[in-house]
Amino acid sequence: MPTFLFDEIVFGPVKSRRLGSSLGINLLPVKQKYCNFNCLYCECGLTDKNYVKYKADLPARTEIAARLNTFLADYLKRGKQIDTVTFAGNGEPTLHPEFPEIIDDTITISRKYYPEAKIAVLSNATLISNEKIFNALHKVDYNILKLDSALEETVRIMNCPLGNFSVEKLVRNLKKFTSGLTLQTLFVRGTYQGTPFDNTTDHEISEWLKLLDQIRPELVMVYTIARDTPIESIERISEKSLNEIAERVKQLGLAVSVSA
């Protein structure tokens, strides 16, 4: 099925239900997905397992800062509003080797033009064991981090980690966040290479809820696919089912949002 890549370093803004007018920053190649996950539902398509060879195509810190500064200065002159500057794009933003410094640059530049704007990062959370990345994420307002399943085997099928990965290690590091943590879970079912997967079963949800109770994020985002996916066998989950999952999250005393 058709998928797409962001073709700019700075893109948008787009209207987001939670983030308002959200300006995107893509730290990754504009012609190639760059990610250490290979999620079957990713709107950017599947990851080339040799993705590391595209490292030379990552935009430089100075270029990112210059693009952001130019955009925000012009946007402010036009009287336009920006609520959030969001790190998203064509893969995993924390893979950029200058990610911590880029966060510092972004905070400084954003405050210059839009002092009330928030900073958000969409991440698969695989690199939060890196102290520099963890500390950088603690400087932003919204860390929207992925946890699609509590079960290792489901993560292996749905997210297809390309390097060393452990749900136990991920949860241990997520528990270290003291503020600004949103856990984002995408619910789907389907079959890949003859293996079925479904992270909405009662067992899946029960184990996932146990981890949420340990992590205690400020918000849990429950959603399903909304765009084309690279694997045609993937099935979106009904709004009714998502709301039922959300109700179980609320019973833990956690805030939850649903996007169907």
The pLDDT score that the predictor gives to residue 1 is 46
Residues 64-75 pLDDT 10s: 999 999 999 999
| Position 49 pLDDT exceeds 90 | no
Give the number of other CB atoms < 10 A from CB of residue 145.
24
- For 92-119, the DSSP string reads -GGGSTTHHHHHHHHHHHHHHH-TT-EE
- Model confidence at 52, pLDDT cuts 50, 70, 90, reads low
Angle (nearest 5°) at CA 189 between 185 and 193 = 120
> Under CATH, what is the fold of the domain 10-259?
TIM Barrel (3.20.20)
Q: Tens digits of per-residue pLDDT, 222-240?
A: 999 887 777 878 889 999 9
Q: What are the sequence ranges of the domains in the chain?
A: 10-259
Kindly report whether the peptide bond that precedes residue 13 is cis, defined as omega within 30 degrees of 0: yes
H or E segment to which residue 208 belongs = helix 202-215
- Do residues 58 and 28 make contact, with C-beta atoms less than 8 angstroms apart? yes
Mean pLDDT of the chain: 91
Let me know: does 158 contact 188? Beta carbons within 8 Å.
Answer: yes
| Predicted confidence (pLDDT) at residue 99 exceeds the cutoff of 50 | yes
State the CB neighbour count (10 A cutoff) for residue 179: 8
